Amino acid sequence: MRGGGGGGGGRGGRGVGLADAAAQRAANADAPRIPDLLSRIGGLFAPHRAALALTIALVLVGAALTVLPPLLTQQAFDRGLFPDEGRSAPNIPVLVELVALMLLIWVASAGLGVAQTYLTATVGNRVMGALRVRLYEHLQAMELGFFTRTKTGVIQSRLQNDVGGVAGVLSNTVQSIVGNTVTVIAALVAMLLLSWQMTIVAVILTPVLVIAQRRVGQVRARIATQTQESLSELTAITQETLSVSGILLAKAFARQGDEVARYAGENERQIRLQVRQAMSGQWFFALVNLVLSTVPAVIYLVAAWLITQDVAVTAGTVVAFTTVQARLTFPLMGLLRVALDLQTSQALFARIFEYLDLRPAIRDAPGAREVDRSRLGAVAFDAVSFAYPDAPDDAPPTLHEVSFALDPGTYAAFVGPSGAGKTTISYLVPRLYEATGGAVRFAGDDVRELREASLVAEIGIVSQETYLFHATIAENLRYAKPDASDAELEAACRAANIHDTIVAFPDGYATIVGERGYRLSGGEKQRVAIARVLLKDPPVLILDEATSALDTVSERVVQGALDDAARGRTTLAIAHRLSTVVHADVIFVIDRGRLVERGTHAELLAAGGVYARLFAEQLRGTREALGSEG
């Protein structure tokens, strides 16, 4: 990647971005081990220990209570309905007492269930929300190069689809594991107390089911990975093609049908994957349900055989045992399902942690210091070289040993052919990229030794592609200074020559600008962007071809605003149209990554070098354009 347009990979192809593709390959090659993953998932619950402990306590009590009714049922049969004392009539007082106790347990269990649901939903959603914010915060810290290599839609999918996909696991796993485990253990104990012989028959196939569950889980995890990759691509297609820019492009080339076909194709793949994911494991659970459902019938045969062997088995014992075994079915199924869910969600958690484990290429060094405000405005490059991280190994560097020094208040222009490396210079000053050789100095210090927030606070940037949020003009302006007063907004807009235009709108400063500011003209957007920078009031101003996309009339208006904004500030103007920088204090000519000329407009014209040639070509092009219009 060379120079001007922003380098570092651009939008790339239509698949996942380079960074995401590489990360996915790494994830597939060395997927996290389940114990490590479970440990990290458990760590997400650490801030909610108290609520989690209360939840576990309620689950334990609730699970224990669920086993008592079957045991009371045995007593109801043997002591209430068919007493052993030879009485033909039921023992009504005992039966009433047992039934009342069963009702009390059911009411308590219902109340505990409501409390459990509230606590698990609260903890689960807070953990999920914290995970989403943590991931978003981490992405905000990533360097610019990461975003030029990765599709926006893919990043959005990690935040929305992947984090959302683990919501159920985060909300229900603790309750399901603890509650079902306690219920299974309690049920097994009760079954053993009732009849160890029948218990062996009831659980003999359980190990086989556990082994089968692991195999099904591996299949579901693979399908889940493919499903999330497809969702990422769907999100990326939507983000690209349904933005204002994407719609304009599709309409301009009459490609709406092709875009619909592309979306429909990926959507069809998503449908197939969702069906596969929904069906994977269904035969397994059907088999589990069949096995567990036939156990009671087998128990009747076993009970009959035990009676023939003179083993003491009462009707109450058989009824209680089959009731307990039925209570065992659902928690055992629940444990098998949560085990499958954990295996399936492993793919989602791996994708989330994969992004969280990315280390920003640009971050504050240990002991980084604040900018020296006594030397604000001084900018220098000392033999700076730079190559974009994803450039081919045999490609020449974008910048090669570029050196210059600007005193505070200097208006410096950087000109040269397209792809020469001009915009790269504007990236290196605020440390959006890291120089690969030499040193970029700001206020006398190497930018690598300064706190990033302190450095950026002293720099204002106006680029060619102005970005405005879908909000009011006032809200867009206050992005630079949230506590700015209305008077400050007006002063900044007057300085940017946009105030009169704004107040002419029906809603004035409350006018909604639309997505990316599309309700404003190009010149209006640029002047709002200039006003936003003026509100920040930085000592250093970077103008990255800020007027190259404007018509002649808008350019004159915006250029006037830029000249006013630059007054008294150190300004680095990246210029395509040389006519906009003829009055610069110094002009630097960049060609093929090297600084080849420097001087004033008059000095460079007299030198007859690259600058003189570029100026003559642009002048000739302007005259030809005017001649053709005439």
Residue with tokens 């009959």: 304
pLDDT of residue 264: 86
Place of tokens 């730079």: 386
Secondary structure of residue 565 in the 3-state scheme: helix
Average pLDDT of every residue of the chain: 79
For the chain, report the end-to-end CA distance as a whole number of angstroms: 40
The one-letter amino acid code at 241 reads T
d(CA 239, CA 232): 10
Whether the predicted pLDDT of 381 surpasses 60: yes
Q: Which two tokens stand for residue 310?
A: 């003179």
Token duo for residue 300: 């009747």
Say what the pLDDT of residue 306 is.
78
Which residue, 356, 464, 354, is CA-closest to 140? 356
Per CATH, domain 459-537 is 3.40.50.300: yes
CB-based contact 492:535 (threshold 8 Å): yes
**Residue 131 corresponds to which tokens in the numbers above?**
């995970």
Q: Facing residues of 459 across strands?
A: 540
Q: Taking 70 as the threshold, does the pLDDT of residue 348 lie above it?
A: yes
Q: CA 34 to CA 350: how far, in whole Å?
A: 10
More confident: 555 or 234: 234
d(CA 547, CA 577): 8
| Residue of 575, 521, 584 lying closest to 551 (CA atoms) | 521
Collapse the DSSP code of 187 into the 3-class scheme (helix H, G, I; strand E, B; otherwise coil) and give the result.
helix
Those residues whose C-beta lies under 8 Å from the C-beta of residue 558, and which sit 6 or more positions away, are 523, 526, 527, 530, 546, 547, 550
Decide if pLDDT at 438 tops 70. Answer: yes
Q: 128, 48 in Cβ contact below 8 A?
A: no
DSSP assignment of 497-549, as one string?
A: T-HHHHHHSTTGGG-B--GGGTTS-HHHHHHHHHHHHHHH--SEEEEESTTTT
Q: What is the pLDDT of residues 512-570, one digit of tens each?
A: 988 777 788 888 888 898 889 888 889 999 988 877 666 677 777 777 877 877 888 99
Query: What is the token pair recorded at 303?
Result: 């009970």
With tokens 């979306």, the residue in question is 263
**CATH number at 368-458+570-630:** 3.40.50.300
The pLDDT of residue 256 is 78
DSSP bridge partners of 385: 437
Q: Kindly state the tokens that stand for 269.
A: 């793949």
Assigned CATH topology for domain 37-356:
ABC transporter transmembrane region fold (1.20.1560)
User: Same CATH fold, 459-537 and 37-356?
Assistant: no
How many other β-carbons are positioned within 10 Å of the β-carbon of residue 424? 32
Q: Are strands 459-463 and 445-446 parallel, antiparallel or unpaired?
A: unpaired
H helical segments located in 45-162: 49-75, 92-141, 144-149, 152-157
The two structure tokens encoding residue 432: 């959006």
Q: What is the pLDDT of residue 110?
A: 84
Residue 275's Cβ-count burial label (10 Å; 0-12, 13-18, 19+) is exposed
Q: What is the 3-state secondary structure (H, E, C) of 25-44?
A: HHHHHCCCCHHHHHHHHHHH
Place of tokens 């691509």: 233
Checking if the pLDDT of 168 tops 60, the result is yes
CA distance 68 to 404: 84
- Say if pTM beats, i.e. exceeds, 0.85: no
Residue in the structure block whose two tokens are 């807009």: 493
Mean pLDDT of the region 290-314: 74
d(CA 59, CA 115): 9
Least confident of 9-13, 144-148, 579-583: 9-13
Length of the chain: 630
Q: Are the C-beta atoms of 416 and 590 separated by less than 8 Å?
A: yes
Q: Is the pLDDT of residue 498 over 80?
A: yes
14 pLDDT more than 60: no
What is the pLDDT at residue 160?
78
* Rounded distance between C-alpha atoms, residue 529 and residue 534, angstroms: 9
Residue 180 or 531, more confident: 531
Domain boundaries, the chain: 37-356, 368-458+570-630, 459-537
Q: Hey, what are 176's tokens?
A: 């399901």
Percent of the chain with pLDDT over 70: 83
Residues 91-114 have a mean pLDDT of 84
CA atoms within 13 A on the CB side of 315: 9
